[in-house]
């Protein structure tokens, strides 16, 4: 299968999983397109409607991370994974931690949150011209040392509501961090942020690590786990495979 | 020398009003107490009361919010779900007996009735029919929300320094069992039943008595609490009386204004601020109303709130440095007013 991974610095953990001989990369032909922070807000379709293009400043990043491509030719891929492009996802979790808020308020909260994120522009433009399956890996829950403890089911409930109230509108699938990666329901286990790598290295084997105190970005082990989650989701959907280019 | 000779300029219409631009009319009231940024202020009442809280925030004052929205809920959704409209999610409290009813529920003196309105599988709170525009998903969810708001309302009384209440209506709808609804059943939600639902137009003594009782309970809950009363200048959307809506409006507002004045005069910890006069006095030529002559436009609201703080400054001097504050968007259309929905029932 030809998979296109689009995102910001959080896709670096998926790329770094490649070096761990993850079986995912043996079974799938994966192309990365990354640009830092909110730069992908500028992603747009070209006149043909079959390519996603970006301003020159962003193109440079796309070229580097993809290994030479400056735009995303939609027909070349069977499925898309949009990664990161969302900030402080853990701030959504407390809304689901008690019966303080009604289900409608919770739905409005997740809808408002996702709509305000870069992910909204990216999956919006992608879905407007492309019928292929879209999967979403939100920016990982921060790996803070002493997180507020809520049951893991609270995080699961947030993901489920996000899917129902927002991602279903795009026929996109939001991936959930497995419980094994969680430290309580609002954080990622610290071990998954140690040795996390920077986006700059995506597109090469020269992966540069974040500072040892990094809590927002995750490492290859986490990337491998999320690729397994993706593989499981991919096995559930019908993907029309493209002919080899 | 007669008594008028020693009166200040503000006592004479020509000097204080007639020869002035309406924007230069000042010294409208002498506040009884000072409002400082450290004072926590709760706000409740009719639609017009909603402007008060936001004006406090924009001037660096402390608007007490005891029922907080989720962090990630947008400003538009906060308004839609009645967060940051009043100090808690009570919805509009139009009448003084309705305020008293909330206080009795909050203190446990009375129990909130079990009545719930159901429509198409969704559940509506008869006492806050607009806080969840499409209703609650279940009775359990509705009850949980009621309990949270009751507790938040109680805290907004016990934890505030100043309680601002805007009196809105004298017309009300009560259940024959004795409790009051904020809107007529069958308008926003629920079903109107003439056997159960009774219309009343409160008289001066009823308004006065219920507000006195409410003040008594509030002071019992918080012995340092001070109260500022205002009267909403917004006319009735519709009347259920046999009067013309204009006449019914003037009657209602006159009763409310008289009660507010009486209590401000006779109760040490109660003050009155003349927002009603600022908008409705002939001196202001109706200039602060929208073309429908009902809605008050943003400049009018700003003028009222500027006058409020100007009167504070005239009496107590310049306020100390402002607090850092979060911006809350202001717009002329973002007032949440259940009563306005009555306009939809006009036959023409």
Looking at B159-282, list the stretches that DSSP marks H as alpha helix, in order from N- to C-terminal side: 204-221, 245-266, 275-280
Question: By C-alpha distance, which of A20, A18, A54 is closest to A34?
Answer: A54
pLDDT at residue A26, rounded to an integer: 84
Half-sphere exposure of B303 (CA within 13 A, CB side): 22
- Rounded CA-CA distance B89/B146 in Å is 9
Report pLDDT digits (tens) over B19-47.
999 999 999 999 999 999 999 999 999 98
Question: By C-alpha distance, which of B46, B48, B86, B95 is closest to B67?
Answer: B86
Q: What percent of chain B has pLDDT over 90?
A: 86
CB contact under 8 A, B70 and A103: no
- What band does B324 get if pLDDT is binned at 50, 70 and 90? low
**Chain A (105-134) residues lying within 8 Å, Cβ to Cβ, of chain B:** 105-106, 108-110, 112-113, 115-116
Q: Give the bridge partners for A172, in sequence order.
A: A134
Structure-token pair, residue B180: 């009051």
Say whether residue B145 is in contact with chain A using an 8 A CB cutoff: yes
Beta strands (DSSP E) in chain B are 40-45, 62-63, 117-119, 122-124, 162-167, 171-175, 180-181, 197-201, 226-231, 270-272
Listed by start position, the domains of chain A span 2-236
B34 close to B312: Cβ distance less than 8 angstroms: yes
Listed by start position, the domains of chain B span 38-319+326-343
CB contact under 8 A, A99 and B80: no
Say whether residue A103 is in contact with chain B using an 8 A CB cutoff: yes
A218 close to A13: Cβ distance less than 8 angstroms: yes
- What band does B104 get if pLDDT is binned at 50, 70 and 90? very high
pLDDT at residue A116, rounded to an integer: 97
- Whole-Å CA distances, A85 to A40, A98, A119, A136: 8, 27, 5, 10
Report pLDDT digits (tens) over A111-132.
999 999 999 999 999 999 999 9
- Is B152 a residue whose pLDDT tops 70? yes
- What band does A209 get if pLDDT is binned at 50, 70 and 90? confident
Q: Across the interface, which of A100, A103, A108 has its CB nearest the CB of B73? A: A108
Given CA atoms B230, B235, B237, B239 in this order, what sign does their dihedral have?
positive
For A242, the 3-state DSSP assignment is coil
**Which strand (E) or helix (H) includes residue B298?**
helix B298-316
Structure-token pair, residue B160: 């505030």
pLDDT at residue A27, rounded to an integer: 84
> Which pTM does this prediction carry?
0.90
Distance from A98 to chain B by nearest Cα, in Å? Answer: 10
Structure-token pair, residue A65: 């991370």
List Cβ neighbours of B234 (8 Å cut-off, separation of 6 or more).
B46, B47, B48, B168, B294, B295, B296, B337
B91 close to B82: Cβ distance less than 8 angstroms: yes
Q: Give the bridge partners for A30, in sequence order.
A: A3
ipTM above 0.85, yes or no: yes
- Is A195 a residue whose pLDDT tops 70? yes
Report pLDDT digits (tens) over A157-187.
999 999 999 999 999 999 999 999 999 899 9
**Chain A (77-96) residues lying within 8 Å, Cβ to Cβ, of chain B:** 91-92, 94-95
Which chain A residues are within 8 Å of B144, Cβ to Cβ? 99-100
User: 3.30.70, 3.40.109, 3.40.50, 3.40.630: which CATH number matches A2-236?
Assistant: 3.40.50
For chains A and B, count residue pairs whose Cβ atoms are closer than 8 Å: 54
Which chain A residues are within 8 Å of B73, Cβ to Cβ? 105, 108-109, 112
Which chain A residues are within 8 Å of B148, Cβ to Cβ? 100
Report pLDDT digits (tens) over A17-65.
877 666 788 888 999 999 999 999 989 999 999 999 999 999 999 999 9
B201 close to B171: Cβ distance less than 8 angstroms: yes
Q: Give the bridge partners for B175, in sequence order.
A: B197
To which residue do tokens 């309990």 refer?
B147
Half-sphere exposure of B180 (CA within 13 A, CB side): 24
CB contact under 8 A, A104 and B144: no
pLDDT at residue A23, rounded to an integer: 79
Compare all CA atoms of chain B with the CA of A90 and give the residue at the minimum distance: B72
CB contact under 8 A, A116 and B74: yes
Q: What is the CATH number of domain B38-319+326-343?
A: 3.40.50
Give the residue-averaged pLDDT of A188-203: 84
Task: Count the Cβ atoms, other than its own, within 10 Å of residue B288.
Answer: 21
Distance from B153 to chain A by nearest Cα, in Å? Answer: 14
Give the residue-averaged pLDDT of B65-76: 96
Compare all CA atoms of chain B with the CA of A98 and give the residue at the minimum distance: B144
pLDDT at residue B228, rounded to an integer: 98
- Is B283 a residue whose pLDDT tops 90? yes
- Rounded CA-CA distance A85/A117 in Å is 7
pLDDT at residue A245, rounded to an integer: 41
Q: Across the interface, which of A99, A103, A105 has its CB nearest the CB of B73? A: A105
| Region of poorest pLDDT, from A158-167, A196-205, B139-148 | A196-205
Looking at chain A, list the stretches that DSSP marks H as alpha helix, in order from N- to C-terminal side: 12-17, 23-27, 56-66, 103-115, 118-129, 152-165, 220-236
Is residue B115 packed enough to be buried (19+ CB in 10 Å), middle (13-18) or exposed (0-12)?
A: middle
- Rounded CA-CA distance B196/A201 in Å is 73
pLDDT at residue A211, rounded to an integer: 76
Report pLDDT digits (tens) over B299-321.
999 999 999 999 999 999 987 76
Task: Count the Cβ atoms, other than its own, within 10 Å of residue B230.
Answer: 28
Across the beta sheet with B197-201, the strand order is B180-181, B171-175, B197-201
Which chain A residues are within 8 Å of B136, Cβ to Cβ? 102-104
DSSP string, B25-63: -------SS---TTSEEEEEESTTHHHHHHHHHHTT-EE
Backbone angles phi, psi at B222, to 5 degrees: -150, 95
Structure-token pair, residue A182: 């969680």
- Rounded CA-CA distance B38/B280 in Å is 32
Report pLDDT digits (tens) over B325-340.
555 554 444 566 666 6
């Amino acid at each position: 299968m030809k998979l296109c991974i689009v995102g910001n610095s959080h896709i670096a953990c998926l790329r770094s999983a490649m070096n761990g001989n993850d079986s995912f990369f043996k079974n799938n032909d994966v192309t990365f397109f990354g640009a830092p922070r909110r730069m992908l807000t500028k992603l747009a379709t070209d006149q043909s409607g079959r390519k996603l293009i970006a301003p020159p400043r962003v193109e440079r990043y796309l070229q580097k991370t993809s290994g030479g491509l400056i735009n995303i030719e939609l027909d070349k891929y069977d499925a898309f994974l949009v990664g990161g492009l969302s900030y402080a996802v853990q701030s959504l979790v407390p809304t689901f931690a008690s019966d303080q808020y009604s289900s409608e308020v919770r739905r409005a909260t997740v809808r408002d949150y996702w709509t305000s994120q870069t992910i909204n522009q990216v999956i919006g433009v992608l879905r407007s011209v492309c019928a292929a399956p879209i999967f979403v890996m939100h920016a990982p829950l921060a790996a803070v040392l002493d997180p507020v403890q809520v049951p893991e089911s609270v995080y699961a409930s947030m993901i489920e509501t996000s899917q129902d109230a927002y991602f279903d509108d795009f026929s996109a699938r939001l991936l959930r961090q497995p419980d094994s990666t969680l430290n309580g329901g609002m954080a990622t286990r610290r071990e998954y942020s140690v040795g996390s790598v920077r986006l700059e290295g995506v597109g090469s084997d020269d992966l540069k690590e974040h500072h040892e105190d990094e809590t927002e970005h995750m490492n290859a082990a986490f990337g491998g786990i999320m690729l397994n989650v993706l593989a499981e989701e991919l096995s559930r959907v019908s993907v029309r495979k493209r002919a080899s280019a | 020398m007669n008594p008028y000779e020693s009166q200040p300029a503000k006592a004479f219409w020509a000097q204080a009003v007639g020869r002035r631009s309406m924007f230069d009319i000042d010294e409208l009231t002498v506040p009884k107490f000072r409002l400082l940024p450290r004072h926590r202020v709760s706000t409740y009442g009719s639609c017009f009361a909603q402007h008060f809280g936001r004006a406090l925030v924009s001037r660096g004052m402390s608007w007490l919010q005891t029922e907080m929205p989720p962090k990630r809920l947008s400003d538009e959704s906060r308004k839609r779900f009645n967060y940051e409209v009043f100090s808690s999610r009570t919805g509009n409290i139009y009448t003084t007996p309705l305020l008293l009813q909330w206080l009795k529920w909050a203190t446990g003196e009375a129990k909130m009735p079990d009545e719930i309105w159901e429509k198409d599988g969704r559940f509506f709170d008869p006492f806050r029919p607009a806080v969840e525009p499409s209703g609650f998903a279940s009775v359990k969810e509705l009850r949980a929300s009621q309990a949270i708001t009751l507790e938040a309302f109680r805290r907004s009384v016990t934890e505030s320094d100043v309680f601002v209440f805007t009196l809105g209506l004298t017309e009300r709808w009560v259940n024959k069992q004795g409790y009051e609804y904020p809107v007529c059943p069958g308008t926003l939600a629920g079903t109107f039943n003439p056997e159960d639902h009774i219309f009343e137009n409160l008289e001066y003594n009823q308004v006065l008595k219920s507000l006195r009782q409410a003040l008594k309970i509030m002071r019992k809950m918080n012995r340092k609490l001070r109260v500022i009363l205002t009267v909403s200048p917004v006319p009735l959307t519709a009347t259920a009386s046999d009067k013309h809506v204009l006449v019914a409006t003037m009657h209602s507002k006159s009763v409310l204004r008289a009660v507010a004045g009486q209590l401000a005069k006779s109760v040490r910890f109660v003050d009155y601020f003349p927002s009603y006069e600022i908008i409705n006095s002939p001196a202001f030529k109706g200039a602060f109303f929208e073309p429908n002559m009902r809605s008050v436009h943003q400049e009018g609201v700003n003028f009222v709130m500027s006058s409020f703080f100007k009167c504070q400054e005239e009496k107590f001097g310049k306020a100390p440095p402002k607090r850092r504050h979060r911006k809350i968007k202001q717009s002329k259309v973002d007032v949440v007013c259940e009563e306005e929905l009555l306009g939809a029932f006009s036959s023409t």
